[in-house]
Every structure is written in structure tokens, then in C-alpha cells.
Amino acid sequence: MQSSNPVLNRSSAFAPGQGQAYPGAAPYGQPGPYGQQPGQGYGGPGMPPQQQYQSADSRPMTLDDVIVKTALTLGVVVAAAAVAWAAIPTSLVTPAFLAGALVGFALAMVLSFSRRVNPVLLMAYAVAEGVFLGIGSKFIANWVGDPGIVVQAILATMVTAGLTLATYKYFNIKVTARFTRMVMVATMGFAGVLLINFVLSLFGVGTGITGMGPLGLLFAALGAGLAVFNLILDFDMIEQGIKHGAPQNEAWRAAFGLTVTLVWLYWNLLRILAILRGGD
């Protein structure tokens, strides 16, 4: 079973298949995917204690690893957004906004298709995404006439993510293959529509789906809903990665995947609040 988040999809650490535990599920007599000897998983009974945690690759990932690295990545996003909001002059707002969006997208593609997430590239992505969000948030705050709307969107994102996690854990939501496929198809379709809209905008054609009108509200609500479903899938994949002994460095991939989804959720919630409030 795989997440619709392409970041977590890239690694088998988050998608154990055919009922095989990751990563010590190689056929008997063959080495595991990270060089373990036959029959040796991470911390398995066949591995001597002194060899169990010799490197970041051999130590299993923990929930604390994911939390710390996600907090660090999101912290860089917030810091870069604050700097962009306060320091970028009006004359450079549009180029900086476009540069942040394009550089962030390019780095996201590189990280998504990398076999191993490079923390330096991840921090560069966080900076680019922060510039994009900082300028975009300032524009929306000015349109509404109240900078407090950004704080409201951040709190709404935290509450939504927390409720999603609580619902997933305490209601014991089962992430089935059918549910995963449905979310994946819907997410890809939504992204495709946004891509077509961007191309059309280059030729001066406005569809309104990224605007601040009724159609923009509808698509922002759809985007926020899909982000919630993606969070459920990502929580499940991270839980599976921890359960099956994914290596510690995969926590960076988990942090990247959660950052992508949470940023997406924040941006759509901000737009929803702004549209409902209306501009000055």
C-alpha cells in the first residue's frame, strides 16, 4: 500500500509490499536492502547488539526522529516566510514570489525522486517555500486588510492536523488500497487542473480557480479536503515505516512529505478564510 504523497511513495521504507516487513524481508540466504546479513532486520535477533546501531542507516527510525526533523523543516519555512514578509521590497515582490514558487517546485521534484533525501536540499526547499508563502500571505493579508488572518490560518492548520491525527489514531482508521487509490487519483487530478490553469494564465486566460471568488473558494475547499486525506495516508505510511524498521535517515523523507502536505493545507485554509472575509 502506498501513500498518494509522492515523497513517501519514493521509498520502500513507507510501502512494505506483499506482506513483507521492511527492511529485513529479503529472501532467506540473501542480504537485505541495506546490506544486512541474511535474517537480520534492524535490531533483529540475528544481529549482535554492538552492530545494531552503528550508523544512521542501521538505526531504526523513531517517531521522535520524524517529529524533530519535521519541526526543524517547518521552522525554516516559517523563518523564511517572516523574513520575506518583512524584508523584500515592493519592487521585488512579484519576482521573489515567482522565484520562490518555481525554485520550491523544482527542489520538490528533485527531492521527491531522490533515493535519499538530502537535508541540505530539504532546507533549501524550505527556504524557497517560505519565501513563496511569506509574500503570498502578505498579499492576502493586505487584500483582507487584517494581518491577523495569517495567525488564524496557522492555528486552523494546527487544529486541523491535530484533529486528523487524533481521528486516525483513536478511531483506528484503516487505510485500504481502495481509499489510497481514490485519494491518489483525486490528488493527481487536482494538481493537473492547477497546472493547466497556470499554463492558461501565461496566455492571459483566467479561470478563477486560484482567484478570490466563488470558484476559488470551491477549489480551496477541495484542496484543503484533499490535504486532510493525504495527511491520513502519510500518518499511516510513517507508522508503517516505524513499525517495519525503516532506517533513521528516512525521517528526513517523512519530514519532507509532512511539510509538503501541511504547507498545502495552510495555503488553502488561508484562501478560504480570506474569501469568506472578503477584501477591503
Q: Are 7 and 184 in contact (CB under 8 A)?
A: no
Query: What is the pLDDT at residue 201?
Result: 83
Indicate the DSSP class of residue 262. Answer: H
Q: Are 247 and 58 in contact (CB under 8 A)?
A: yes
Mean pLDDT, range 62-70, rounded to an integer = 95
* Measured distance CA(81)–CA(214) in Å, rounded: 27
Query: What is the pLDDT at residue 133?
Result: 96
* Measured distance CA(44)–CA(33) in Å, rounded: 15
pLDDT band of residue 40 (cuts 50, 70, 90) is very low
Summarised one tens digit per residue, pLDDT across range 186-235 is 999 998 898 898 888 878 888 889 888 999 999 999 999 999 999 999 99
Q: Are 263 and 125 in contact (CB under 8 A)?
A: no
Query: What is the pLDDT at residue 16?
Result: 46
Q: What cell numbers appear for 154 in the block?
A: 496557522
Threshold 0.85, pTM exceeds: no
pLDDT at residue 112 is higher than 80 = yes
Q: What cell numbers appear for 250 in the block?
A: 528516512
Residue position matching grid coordinates 470558484:
215
Q: Are 81 and 137 in contact (CB under 8 A)?
A: yes
Maximum Cα interatomic distance, the chain, rounded to a whole number of Å: 70
pLDDT band of residue 251 (cuts 50, 70, 90) is very high
38 compared with 155, residue with greater pLDDT: 155
- Within 8 A by CB and 6+ apart from 211, the residues are none
Summarised one tens digit per residue, pLDDT across range 144-172 is 999 999 999 999 999 999 999 999 988 88
Query: What is the pLDDT at residue 173?
Result: 87
